[in-house]
Amino acid sequence: MPPATPLAVPSTTPAVPANARVLSGLRPTGKIHIGHLVGALANWIELQKKYNCYFFVADWHALTTHYADTSGLQQFILDSVTDYLAVGVDPAKAVIFQQSRVPEHAELHLLLSLITPLGWLERTPTYKEQRENIQDKDLGTYGFLGYPVLQSADILIYKAGFVPVGADQVAHIELTREICRRFANFYGPVFPEPQPLLTPTPRLLGTDGRKMSKSYGNAIFLSDTETEIRSKVSNMLTDPARQRRTDPGNPDVCPVFGLHKLCSPQETIDTVNTECRRAGIGCVDCKKQMAGNLAQWIAPFTERRSKIEQQPDQVWDVLEQGSKKAHITAAATMEEVRAAMNLKQPSLLHS
């Protein structure tokens, strides 16, 4: 496969020790949108240049909510890895793997579940929020409650020092740290305490002004054509207080302006910023300009994606090779865990 040309996305890398191991994953629930790119993948591309990175497809995590119908799962896994490669995640620099291909995650999950108090899981904010908001699925399952324990296992099994995530995941990293300390109290130190690496870019708003999310139907996908982008943008919410063309607007609360900042040249951003505030530009024109720039910004990705799509065998191979590498690291950690918990004689390690 040709080397990746990462998309230009504003991103800064926080201070991390040079040889740190970095781990992150995304759930394979469909094609990625520009919110994923700005929120997670742009950061991965920067991190892989400097650190020992492990990036994975969290297929077991997807099943904690999408367990009833797994028919699309293979395609979603393939789509995810295709997207990773298309934006520039590079198998020569980072280990790209599939969670369920490294079954040691499940063994560590079991052992950590033994020491995790139920109360810690019941008060996890994402758990409470999703139980209240997701009505079309029965999430009253054992597996869904244990989701953050599985996530802890994902992180600890690679002894990751840093975990790049969005703000909504920080509580899960905190929980991982608590589980890590509890493990050390009982069995001795095996794992370093991981730290969250907050993605520096602010969360992108979708076409309806809410957080961009596939499940809200307000996302712009990296696979959208120019026509789709133009039609989505023309229907986009603007500053709700700007009712008439003659009303001055406030770009700071307008999702269209958020996207200008992502894809438009600085002078356009500056012009919109001043002209909108004195009703010097109308929303229709402002949106047209933005849609054109967004389509241009996305085009190199789309081209690259369509090339990679032609070679699914190579994509599967990347995942296969990466999963083998991840397995070696995970298996070594599990030997230490088994010894620490007296499940195995230390002298029999590696046999």
Q: What is the CA radius of gyration of the chain?
A: 22
CA distance 87 to 301: 6
Minimum gap (Å) between residue 224 Cβ and ligand SF4: 19
User: What are the residues whose beta carbons fall under 8 Å from the beta carbon of 341, sequence distance 6 or more?
Assistant: 111, 187
305 binds, options ligand TRP, ligand SF4, none, Cβ within 5 to 8 A by partner type: none
User: What is the 3 state secondary structure string of 240-270?
Assistant: CCCCCCCCCCCHHHCHHHHHHHHHCCHHHHH
CA distance 269 to 174: 37
Choose, by CB under 6 A, the member of 46, 154, 224, 239 that binds ligand TRP. 154
- Structure-token pair, residue 122: 């019941």
Phi, then psi, of 221 in degrees rounded to 5: -90, 155
Give the whole-angstrom CA distance, residue 346 versus residue 157: 18
Using CB under 6 A, pick the residue from 58, 139, 254, 334 that binds ligand SF4: 254
The Cα 199–Cα 13 span in angstroms is 9
Q: Verify binding: residue 272, ligand SF4, rule CB under 6 A.
A: yes
Min. distance of Cβ 199 from ligand SF4 in angstroms?
24
Question: Residue 116 binds which one of ligand SF4, ligand TRP, none, with CB within 5 to 8 A depending on kind?
Answer: none
Is residue 210 within 8 Å of residue 218, measured between CB atoms?
yes
- Could you tell me the smallest distance in angstroms from the CB atom of residue 5 to ligand SF4? 30
Alpha-carbon gap, residue 56 to 323, rounded angstroms: 9
- The helix (run of H) or strand (run of E) holding residue 63 is helix 59-65
Question: Does 238 interact with ligand SF4 (rule: CB under 6 A)?
Answer: yes
d(CA 237, CA 256): 8
Closest CB to ligand TRP among residues 26, 298: 26
Positions in 276-315 near ligand SF4 (CB under 6 A) = 276, 281, 283, 286-287
| Residue 155 contact among ligand TRP, ligand SF4, none, beta carbon within 5 to 8 Å by kind | ligand TRP
155 part of the interface to ligand TRP, by CB under 6 A: yes
Q: How many residues at the interface with ligand SF4, by CB under 6 A? A: 14
Under the binding rule (CB under 6 A), the answer on residue 25 touching ligand SF4 is no
Residue 27 backbone dihedrals phi, psi, to 5 degrees: -80, 135
Q: What's the Cα-to-Cα distance from 317 to each of 81, 98, 311, 350, rounded to whole Å? A: 11, 11, 10, 28
Stretch that binds ligand TRP, among 149-157, 228-236, 320-328, 329-337 (CB under 6 A): 149-157
197 binds ligand TRP (CB under 6 A): no
Region of 21-29, 31-39, 256-264, 332-340 interacting with ligand TRP (CB under 6 A): 21-29
Q: Does 256 bind ligand SF4 (CB under 6 A)?
A: yes
Q: How near is the Cβ of 152 to ligand TRP at its closest, in Å?
A: 8
The contact mask relative to ligand TRP for 66-105 (x = CB under 6 A, - = no) is: ----------------------------------------
Answer for which of 20, 22, 23, 42 binds ligand TRP (CB under 6 A) is: 23
Per CB under 6 A, residues contacting ligand SF4 are: 238-239, 242, 249, 251, 254, 256-257, 272, 276, 281, 283, 286-287
